[in-house]
Amino acid sequence: MTPIRLALIGLSASAKTSWASSAHLPYLLSPRGLARFQIVALCNSSKEAAHAAISAYKLPEATRAYGSPADLAADTDVELVVCCTRVDVHHETVRPSLAAGQMVYCEWPLAQDPAHARDLAHLAREKQVRTMVGVQGRVAPAVKKLRELVENGRIGKVVSAEVRAAGGLNDREILPASLEYFTKREVGGNPFTIGFGHLWDQIQFVHGDAAALQSRLQIQFPNSKLRDPETNTIVKVVKSDVPDLIVVTAALQESAIAQQDATLLVRFRRGQPSFDEAPLVWSIIGERGEIRLTNPGGTTLHASAHGESVRLELKDFATNVVEKIGYQWEAWQEELPLVARSVGALYEAFADGKDYPTFEDALKRHEQLDGMLSSWSA
């Protein structure tokens, strides 16, 4: 198989934290990644910045450097463009590549709002371009195992499900100064769209799409304290317009795995949990038993599900026996940093051409989240 020729947008040599370098590069530069993908270009805010990243990460000298999405889109040698920028520039960054017929893998959220996400999804459909969106939690082993248990009828048809989560940020009132934009809903990247949004997608990946959604959103702690990570001092207090408490009730669609009118209840709040409850407890109640997932590491099953930290248990109602359910990363994933493992699995699915989330999937989630915000704002 000839490697897919790939360009990365947003691989920074100077950023203190970079999702491109921590989550994408480890797989792409691994023996398995190199057999399936070849980084041939970088695009940053300037050609100089791109050259600096090529040097910093010791990419081949032949790697081409671009300073604008339009210039990158004109490179006919690039087959796949991977976007790891801040969400509010996703649309302007990847649209030229879609228009040029290049395949695109864009991080979640796809865009800052449904209108921009819809434009990208429709353009990809018009150009018949393959796309992928970074909701990599779908391929995390614990999530895949949950779906397998449900689909195999281990507890009979699902009659209800409950999810209690606390996360999105490490603290309910404090955040790093570099993430001030998390307090601005218009930017599109925040604990609601990212923290809750990832989990919301995983929930529906396991149970099937929710219907008859009813939601209540609230800002419990409107004043966010910005902390300088170097001095550990609060440098500013800003008012947030992003909900930090999300409560959703919905009906699961009747199917081979769910009973008619099965109820879904989700409660997500920003920050650390109170007392000793795990940040994520996910219960799926069936006709013959119950499955419970507990993650003491956080709500991100694709980035905080390490080793035995995430517990999966199944209780049989007839025998009252509780069974511990095992799951594991694949051997090649174990060789990667934790945050890169599920991202690597997405790349694998894309290379295989099957079972990966697309821009159409992302648009569906954007519209659901926007419906919650619209009813709250009204």
48 with 150, same domain: the answer is: no
The residue out of 109, 135, 161 marking a domain boundary is: 135
- Half-sphere CA count of 83, side-chain side, radius 13 A: 32
For residue 225, the domain's CATH number is 3.30.360.10
Is there a single domain that holds both residue 129 and residue 142?
Answer: no
Q: Is residue 345 part of a domain?
A: no
Whether residue 61 is found in the same domain as residue 128:
yes
- 192 and 297 share a domain? yes
Together in a domain, 120 and 44: yes
Helix (H, G, I), strand (E, B) or coil at 33: helix
Are 116 and 45 members of one domain? yes
Report the amino acid identity of residue 81.
Answer: V
Q: 305 and 162 share a domain?
A: yes
Tell me how many domains the chain contains.
2
Q: Are residues 76 and 165 in the same domain?
A: no
CATH of the domain at 94: 3.40.50.720
Q: Where is the domain boundary, 100, 135, 170?
A: 135
Residue 152 lies in a domain: yes
Domain boundary among 108, 135, 162: 135
**Domain membership of residue 158 as a residue range:** 138-325
Is residue 369 in some structural domain?
no
Say whether both 243 and 306 belong to one domain: yes
Check if the beta carbon of residue 25 is closer than 8 Å to that of residue 15. Answer: no
Residues 107 and 183 in one domain: no
pLDDT digit of tens for each residue in the chain (378 aa)?
799 999 999 998 876 568 999 999 999 999 999 999 999 999 999 999 999 999 999 999 999 999 999 999 999 999 999 999 999 999 999 999 999 999 999 999 999 999 999 999 999 999 999 999 999 999 999 999 999 999 999 999 999 999 999 999 889 999 999 999 999 999 999 999 999 999 999 999 999 999 999 999 999 999 999 999 889 999 999 999 999 999 999 999 888 999 998 999 999 999 998 888 899 999 999 999 999 999 998 998 887 766 568 999 999 999 999 999 999 999 999 999 999 999 999 999 999 999 999 999 999 999 999 999 998 875
Give the tokens for residue 134. Answer: 């970074």
Q: What separation in angstroms does the CA of 209 have from each of 142, 258, 287? A: 19, 11, 20
Residue 97's alpha-carbon distances to 9, 58, 107, 186, 286, in angstroms, are 11, 25, 15, 24, 45
The pLDDT assigned to 301 comes to 87
Rounded Cα gap, residues 146 and 276, in angstroms = 24
Half-sphere exposure of 225 (CA within 13 A, CB side): 11
Q: Determine if the pTM surpasses 0.85.
A: yes
Check residue 80 and report its DSSP letter: E
